[in-house]
Chains A and B, each alone.
Chain A
Amino acid sequence: MSETLRYDETGEVHLDFHGAANTTIDFIIARYGVAAMDEIFRKVGKDVYRSIHDDLVAGDTGQLVRHWRHFFAREDCDYDIEVGADEIVLTVRSCTAWHHVAKLVGNPSPHFCDQTIRTNEALAEGSPYAIDTQITGPGACRQVLRRRA
């Protein structure tokens, strides 16, 4: 299993970037539609996160789990990760990004969580795995990686 973590960030976090992401999602969808926004997230999943994507294609889930742990911890989310024999489940009880945007603007974009859903799909594209993201409440979700049938 790979020990890589391609983007290992340190220092402070600037949560207001999530507000700019929310503005961006609304802007792109209003002018170009959901498909254009999805395509940008697809590029994030496959190009920006190429290292994680390539690992998944090679059947290695290690970097994705490390990535989730590193960044959900950095943003002080309430979450846990269960690594089982058949599936890996990331349960997010409180997403700092969603709640920060809610504090800034009231109601986050109805497409705010597409960044997670679509980026996850792209990470797993062409790999032996699928990542299914279920939104379980405001600022809460369950992300499940399992082998494709």
Chain B
Amino acid sequence: MIPSDHFTRFYNEVFKFLESQGEAELEAYFLAISKNQEKHILELIETRGLEGMDEYWSHIKIEENCDMDIDRNEDRLELRMNVCPSLSKVMDNDAEPMGRYCDHCAGWIGPIMDKTGYHLVYDVIDRKKPQCVMRVFKDAAKAREAEKEVKLLMGWPGHKVG
């Protein structure tokens, strides 16, 4: 058994292998993980929208030991990751971190937001620092406006940026 505590370090090895196979393979994998994650989050979003997302990530905050602030209003949900345990473990690792490790989060979340009609703005800030800000908007124009403040905007399969 690879302990669940060490999934992220296993994930890192998978990313390195897939990156060596080409960008399309990495994207196909993000979509497979996104599909896997639907069983945990899709119904919550479809039935309860931003409140359902809040419930999902509040649960994740506890189970994944995240130092994270969650803020929700009528228009958007904001997750402010102060210390990301996933990237922290990948960096505290006897194996080499994959340079674009952070890309996987938007890689699986983005397709779910596209499917449910929400608008994701994912600011990784710096791929070498375990912190990020994710915002999910109901309104596309507000999301586009929020993108202007972002330091390192992430795309996802079907939604390229830059």
Which residues of A are in contact with B by a Cβ distance under 8 Å?
Answer: 6-7, 9-21, 23-24, 27-28, 31-32, 36, 39-40, 43-44, 47-51, 71-72, 74-75, 77, 92, 95, 97-98, 104, 115-116, 119
Q: Write out the residue numbers on chain A whose beta carbons fall within 8 Å of the beta carbon of B10.
A: 21, 24, 40, 44, 48, 115
Flag B11-24 by CB within 8 Å of A: 1 or 0 each: 11110010001000
Measured CB to CB, the residues of B under 8 A from A are: 1-14, 17, 21, 25, 28-29, 32-33, 35-37, 39-40, 60, 62-65, 93-96
- Which residue of the partner chain, among B2, B3, B60, B94, contacts A50 with CB atoms under 8 Å? B94
Cross-chain contact B64 with A14 (CB below 8 angstroms):
yes
How far, in angstroms, from A16 to B59 measured CA to CA in the complex? Answer: 12
Q: How far is the CA of A56 from the CA of B69 in the complex (A)?
A: 42
Known A14-B63, A48-B93; contact A119-B2, beta-carbon cutoff 8 A: yes
Main secondary structure of the interface of B (DSSP, over half): helix
Q: Is B14 within 8 A of A28, CB to CB?
A: yes
**A49 and B63 contact, CB distance less than 8 A:** no
Besides A11-B65, A21-B10, A40-B14, 9 new A-B residue pairs in contact (Cβ under 8 A), listed by A number: A13-B4, A16-B63, A19-B36, A31-B28, A40-B17, A44-B9, A44-B95, A74-B3, A104-B39
Residues of B near A95 (CB, < 8 A) are 1
B70 to chain A, nearest CB (A): 16
Looking at the assembled complex, report how far the CB atom of A50 sits from the nearest CB atom of chain B, in whole angstroms. 4
Chain B residues with CB under 8 Å of A10's CB are: 65
Q: Are A16's CB and B40's CB within 8 A?
A: yes
